[in-house]
Amino acid sequence: LLDPRPTTATTATTCGYCGVGCTLDVHVRDGEIAAITPARGAPVNRGHACIKGRFAHAFHRADDRLTTPLVRRDGHLVETTWDDAIATIADRLSSTRQQHGPDAIAVISSARATNEENYLAQKFVRTAIGTNNIDNCSRLCHAPSAAGLTASFGLAGGTNPLDDLDRTDCILLAGANPTEAHPVVGARIKQRVLSGARLVVVDPRRTELAALADVHLQASPGSNVAVFNGLAHLLIDEDLLDHDFLDQRTTGFAELAALVQDYPPDVAAEIAAVRAADLISAARLFGRAHHPVIVYGLGITEHAHGTDGVRTLANLAILRGAVGTPGCCGILPLRGQNNVQGASDMGALPDVLPGYQPVTDPAVRNRFAALWGRAVPERPGLRIPQMFDAAIAGEVRAIHVIGEDIVQSDPNATHVRAALRSCDLVVCHDVFPSRTAEHADVVLPAASFLEKDGTFVNFDRRFQRVRPAVAPPGSATSDFDILHRIANAMGIDLGCRTPSAALAECASLTPVFAGVSHQRLDAEGPLHWPCRAPDRPGEAVLHLDGFATPDGRAALAARPYLPPGEQPDGEFPHLLITGRRLVHYNTGSMTRRTPNTELLPAETLELHPADAAHLRVVDGANVTVTSRWGRATLTARLTRDVAPGQVFAAFHFPDAAINDLTSPHTDAATGCPEYKVTAVRISPGP
Ligand code: SF4
């Protein structure tokens, strides 16, 4: 604390940025946040925090915080009262439902909302509206993890806790750059490698950890499945297998072994544009380790075959018996956002209720309906990309967005804007004005994570408390309060008046959360799910007593490599990869209003010097990036961290408009966008 005056209160809460879930001490003086420090005894971060979490407080009193509801009149958003804003939303949602049916309304929730807010959001949609048209931002990132891990192991979460990184002797880090996107995990990996663990990195960019790796497989974008099938081929060929585990606890070995015969090292290496010798070295490092761990990120999931990427990566853990066995270190998906795991866990998804209980199961629906006092719709709802298509087709007439800037964060932004323009009603709750708010009919001022009560679930399935350190500014309020107000105005009582009561209701309906409560979290600290009873601990390591698949066995998946949605060609000869930067977070709405922005005030396009020379572009020059879907102007930054023929940029800055470029290609299984592969053309000048 630079100001020597004493602070008057300190509140321990969970960081609202990335999915690591660091506990932060928020120090308040005279009703204002004076500083944020990492909590020393916190199990996740052990006294560490990154530059995003440490300076998070700087945004919360920014001059342009939304503090009053806005409604659109004569084409302009103007200030109004809460009563008017809520009545406008309730009347127009009710009339939309009456005229076009409940499926004409779609709600997009997000990681910005707590578990309790996500629980209430899906309850609102399923009871007050009467549709399953609810989805959340996990659609854009880790939906393939949920689908892939469920298919392989039976549960939609990473298998082991973060602390198991301290025991591993070999880390396979695939499609993730935790040094920038999950810095506290990045530091833990680095510490482990410096202590002697071996590191294999699969990434098209030379990241900081790639530079530290024993083997860096700089695989071309979209080639993950070929790489993992090639590694599986080598594990089988060199007999680096756990035979007992395969015999007793798995299915699908014969099919996988037959398929990966087609991926000998030279074939897999050619597809991925890596050296066959490096593939062999990587397979031997992973295959000979006693406690291998797989850590992966959006470089695996955000592809047209993202679910296949997750499943073929999971194959490697299964072949080695590295999941569900005593002493194993498992497979850890690095969830991007603070509560993207929790948003899905709470059932803010079109096909499942809380705890991934299918809406198509009559017994599940009846159990929820009995407590809620209203029927649960049977037909699965629309995924986010389908919502936009349905809006353009005139089938969805109202879109209600909770805490997400869909125009900046979703791919093919031109299509998203067209969808919003097609709607009769667009509502958004947010902390700051956003590109989505520019299209909204009603904008509601929301509380930030520093002002909320509830819980988040981090990337290793830990429920952690979120506590309000300060009051929201002006008349801003929580998404929890907003949802109650809208439902009340529609004549529906959602019950569970407090966040604590909402989590208790969710726990009573969801066996895997049955032992979780605010009271217990306050008394005992974080709890992993599954947590099946108030007197039982959370299960940090999954599947020790059997996999949660129907037959209790881990399922190996035989999946062929299929090319990405776009390949370079004569018209669009480069491939654009999108990702994250250390000092900024997602759409940047919070971090761009902190001192972090002095360190990175604008986005740049990473371009290999050989490509720059060919294009006659110098470092710092403006370039125009054109794809089949849009164009953007950026400043070139020459670096050998990207391979020739590839370029990289993040989407933290609205004026860079990176998602005007990205394509509509999505993962066939889940609808997750292919952010990591877009064919583009680079031209000098704006
Ligand atoms: Fe921790 Fe992530 Fe927050 Fe940084 S952004 S403090 S790593 S939770």
CATH annotation of 70-140+339-462+473-498: 3.40.50.740
CB 57 near ligand 1, within 6 Å: no
* C-beta 22 within 6 A of ligand 1: yes
Atom of ligand 1 nearest to the CA of 184: 7
As separate numbers, helices (DSSP H) first and strands (DSSP E) second, the chain gives 24, 28
Nearest CA-CA partner of 180 in 38, 52, 75: 52
Angstrom distance (rounded) from CA 526 to CA 588: 28
Quick one: which atom of ligand 1 is closest to the CA of 49? 6
Strands (E), 264-305: 292-296
**Whether the predicted pLDDT of 546 surpasses 70:** yes
**Which of 13, 50, 59, 590 best tests ligand 1's pocket when mutated (most atoms within 8 Å of CB)?**
50
Three-class secondary structure of residue 287 per DSSP? helix
**pLDDT range class, residue 2, cuts 50, 70, 90:** low
Provide the mean pLDDT of the chain.
96
Close Cβ partners of 343 (under 8 Å, ≥ 6 residues apart) = 109, 110, 111, 113, 115, 118, 136, 137, 138
Cα(50) to centroid(ligand 1), Å: 5
Q: What is the pTM of this model?
A: 0.94
CB 492, CB 128: distance < 8 Å: yes
In this predicted structure, the answer to whether residue 1 has a pLDDT above a threshold of 50 is no
Q: Given this structure, which CATH class describes domain 143-334?
A: alpha beta
pLDDT of residue 663: 92
Decide which of 1.10.10.10, 3.40.50.1820, 3.80.30.20, 2.40.40.20 is the CATH code for 574-684: 2.40.40.20
pLDDT of residue 586: 87
Ligand 1 pocket member 184 (CB < 6 A):
yes
> pLDDT tens for residues 18-67?
999 999 999 999 888 999 999 998 999 999 999 999 998 889 889 999 99
Q: Whose CA is nearest to atom 4 of ligand 1?
A: 50
- In this prediction the ipTM stands at 0.99
User: DSSP assignment, residue 629?
Assistant: S
Are 392 and 419 in contact by the 8 Å Cβ rule? The answer is yes
Binding site membership of 178 for ligand 1 (Cβ less than 6 Å): no
Ligand 1 touching residue 17 (CB < 6 A): yes
Domain 9-59 fold? N-terminal domain of TfIIb (2.20.25)
The verdict on the CB of residue 15 being under 6 Å from ligand 1 is yes
Residue with tokens 């099946």: 532
Nearest to 400 by CA among 33, 44, 45, 106: 106
94, two tokens: 């009710």
319, 246 Cβ separation under 8 angstroms: yes
Ligand 1 in reach of 36 Cβ (< 6 A): no
pLDDT range class, residue 656, cuts 50, 70, 90: confident
Distance CA 125, CA 107 (A): 7
State which ligand 1 atom lies nearest to the alpha carbon of 338.
8
For the stretch 80-124, pLDDT in tens is 999 999 999 999 999 999 999 999 999 999 999 999 999 999 999
202 lines ligand 1 (CB under 6 A): no
Distance 17 CA to ligand 1 centre (A): 6
pLDDT digits (tens, 9 = 90+) for 358-404: 999 999 999 999 999 999 999 999 999 999 999 999 999 999 999 99
Distance 178 CA to ligand 1 centre (A): 11
Cβ neighbors of 270 (< 8 A, separation 6 or more) are: none
21 CB near ligand 1 (under 6 Å) = yes
**What order of strands is seen across the sheet that includes strand 76-79?**
76-79, 70-73, 442-445, 425-430, 398-402, 105-109, 134-136
102 lines ligand 1 (CB under 6 A): no
User: Is a pLDDT exceeding 80 seen at residue 10?
Assistant: yes
20 close to ligand 1 (CB < 6 Angstrom): yes
Q: How many residues does the chain have?
A: 686
- Convert the pLDDT of each residue in 274-287 to its tens digit: 999 999 999 999 99
**pLDDT (mean) for 301-316:** 97
Percent of the chain having pLDDT more than 70?
A: 99
Residue boundaries of the structural domains of the chain: 9-59, 70-140+339-462+473-498, 143-334, 574-684
Nearest CA to ligand 1 atom 1: 22
Taking the centre of ligand 1 as the mean of its atom positions, its distance from the CA of residue 345, in whole angstroms, is 21
What is the 580 CA–ligand 1 centroid distance (Å)?
A: 13
**In the chain, what percentage of residues exceed pLDDT 90?**
92
- In this structure, which residue's CA is closest to atom 2 in ligand 1? 18
Distance CA 556, CA 250 (A): 7
Residue-wise pLDDT for 445-499, tens only, equals 999 999 999 999 999 999 999 999 999 999 999 999 999 999 999 999 999 999 9
